[in-house]
Amino acid sequence: MLIRNKLILRFTLLVVVIQLCFSLFVYYFHAATREQKFHNRLEGKIALTGRILIQRANLRSGILRTVRRRDLLTMPREQISIYSPHGRLLYASDDDIDQRGNLAHLAELRPQQQVSFRYNGRETLGAVYTHGDYDFRIFVGGYDDVGFQQVDKLRLILLIGNLGALALIVVAGWYFAEESLKPMARIVRQVRRITASNLSQRVHEGNQKDEVAQLAMTFNRMLAGLEQAFEAHKSFVSHASHELRTPLANALGTLETSVLYDTDLAEAKASMQSAMEEIRRLIELTNSLLALARADETAFSRTPVRLDECLAQAQDYCRAKYPGRAVRLAFGELPPELDEPFMVSGNEYLLTTALFNLLDNACKYSEAPVAVQLGYAGRRTLQITVRDEGIGIEPAALQRIYEPLFRAEDGRRKATGHGLGLPITQKVIRLHGGELTVESASGQGTTATVQLPAL
């Protein structure tokens, strides 16, 4: 079901329920008021009957014979019955009154205690009227024709009014739903026009305050990220194809030249050695691409890992790759009451790879010793700092260092590489809930800082 139809249905049901509850309240209140008014009339008639027929002793004297009983009746189909203190019928306004209803409630009457009931559709009120030392029982009943006519009219008015209001509610619900969803419909139309070829387009954000505007802003942020991902993908494919094509072409050209022109074993070995170097570059690039793909995986086994052991292993790899380069490791102060230091939850292989990439970059672009410090930035935060005094990174390139296969011009001239180390490291650190920051200035060295949640 469309959201518009849901809104119309829910709005209609809500308003109808509220309207019905209000109508029932009005009807119940009016019916209760009618009953109370008629009860007061019956109560007044009982008092009047007592004063006329009992207090003036009309029941004992023969005066009652000179008064027509019908003269006392003031309500439609009214009936008056008077019983003696011993329960004997003393007076009835009509000889045909069915006294069974009155007799059934006669024993319930007490001084200051009235009894109201319905009998044969007639509303009847019974009360005790005290005169002298005697308690007489008076029952007065009748039909509230005017009151019931008013109740019937009210019921008809409420019925017609509710039916008419229901039609108006449906129309109003449709109008308000249509008006409320117009911004949504506009966003849908705009989003449908956005394809992979025009990701630079954006959705209109309206007033930038209400929920629809927030949805549009979320779409725009998503489109910006998607556009950036597409551009990064294009750049990655372009660089990757170039990086893969170059060593393959070099190796193939070297081998073809060797086959065609090398005449002795020494020349053939030299050509084979050159081809082997290109193949090694190709293997290194392939391994880096695989490591980058693995770093993108969010599902991997996590175990308690000693970060100092990962750092020591990465340091051994770096010393083997750069035999003459000094990597100096220092430890910061440990927090008090620490059961086992430098523990993190994660994957040992990925963490070692990330730390080796930082050391590899530092040794690759710096001839001076590399300073490494492992310590705590807080009770629950481990921090690793790798500082070199190398060529540094220019500000423009510093903004793109996490793009796969991107390399700054100074870095290309200084050493070979593929531009995958920092992207891999960033992904690994973020997968472990940490953060990597790089500070650098051209010609002044580079400082990479890693913070990870500690156990």
Whether residue 245 is found in the same domain as residue 388: no
Q: φ and ψ at 427, to 5 degrees? A: -65, -45
- Give, to the nearest 10 degrees, the angle between helix 265-295 and helix 211-261: 170
CATH of the domain at 67: 3.30.450.20
| Pairwise CA distance, residues 190 & 198, whole Å | 12
pLDDT digits (tens, 9 = 90+) for 266-317: 888 888 888 888 788 778 767 766 766 666 555 567 889 999 999 999 999 8
Q: Same domain, yes or no, for 145 and 37?
A: yes
pLDDT at 326 over 70: yes
User: Does some domain include residue 337?
Assistant: yes
For 85-115, write each residue's pLDDT tens digit.
Answer: 888 998 888 888 899 999 999 999 988 889 9
Greater confidence, 14 or 199?
14
- Do 122 and 103 reside in the same domain of the chain? yes
What's the angle, vertex CA 390, arms to CA 386 and CA 393, rounded to 5?
90
Distance of CA 222 to the CA centre of its chain: 18
pLDDT in tens, 170-205: 888 888 888 877 877 888 888 888 877 777 788 887
Same-domain check for residues 102 and 239: no
Q: Cβ distance 170 to 42 under 8 Å?
A: no
CATH number at residue 366: 3.30.565.10
What band does 235 get if pLDDT is binned at 50, 70 and 90?
A: low
176 domain residue, yes or no: no
**85 φ/ψ sector (left φ>0, alpha ψ -120 to 50, else beta):** alpha
Contact assessment for residue 396 and residue 440, using Cβ atoms and an 8 Å cutoff:
no
| Rg of the chain (C-alpha set) | 49
Same domain (yes/no): 304, 446: yes
Residue owning tokens 């019974």: 126
Residue 251 is part of which domain span? 211-293
CA distance 58 to 41: 23
Same domain, 304 and 442: yes
List, for residues 332-364, the tens digit of each pLDDT value.
Answer: 888 887 788 999 998 888 899 889 989 988 998
Q: What is the pLDDT of residue 294?
A: 63
Does 313 map to a domain?
yes
448 & 322 share domain: yes
* DSSP for 51-115, written as a single string: IIIIIT-TTTSTHHHHS-GGGG--STT-EEEEE-TTS-EEEESSTT---HHHHHHHTT-BTTB-E
In whole angstroms, give the CA distance from residue 422 to residue 292.
10
Residue 50 is predicted with a pLDDT of 87
Q: Tell me which of 118, 149, 180 is where a domain ends.
A: 149
Residue 173: inside a domain, yes or no? no
Whether residue 382 is predicted with pLDDT greater than 60 in this model: the reply is yes
Q: Which of 248, 270, 293 is the last residue before a domain boundary?
A: 293
Does 304 lie in the same domain as 387? yes
pTM reported for the whole predicted model: 0.49
Same domain, 320 and 268: no
Split at pLDDT 50, 70, 90, the class of 388 is very high
Q: Could you read off the pLDDT of 240-270 as tens digits, one per residue?
A: 666 677 678 878 888 888 888 878 888 888 8
Q: Residue 383 and residue 375: Cα distance in Å, rounded?
A: 5
- The mean of the pLDDT values for the chain is 84
Task: Return the pLDDT at 115.
Answer: 94
Residues in the chain: 455
Domain count, the chain: 3
In angstroms, the Cα distances linking 7 to 97, 107, 178, 184, 307 are 60, 60, 9, 14, 56
Q: Is the pLDDT of residue 60 over 80?
A: no
Residue 129 belongs to some domain of the structure: yes
Residue 184 in any domain: the answer is no
217 in the same domain as 286: yes
* Domain match, 73 and 89 both: yes
Distance CA 153, CA 245 (A): 93
Q: Is residue 198 part of a domain?
A: no
What integer pLDDT is reported at residue 428 of this predicted model?
86
- Specify whether 383 is located in the same domain as 433: yes
Task: Please say which residue of 270, 293, 316 terminates a domain.
Answer: 293
Residue at 380 is within a domain: yes
Q: Which whole-number Å values give the CA distances from 134 to 78, 84, 87, 109, 246, in the listed order?
A: 25, 8, 12, 14, 127
Q: Which residues contact 104 (CB under 8 A, 6 or more apart)?
A: none
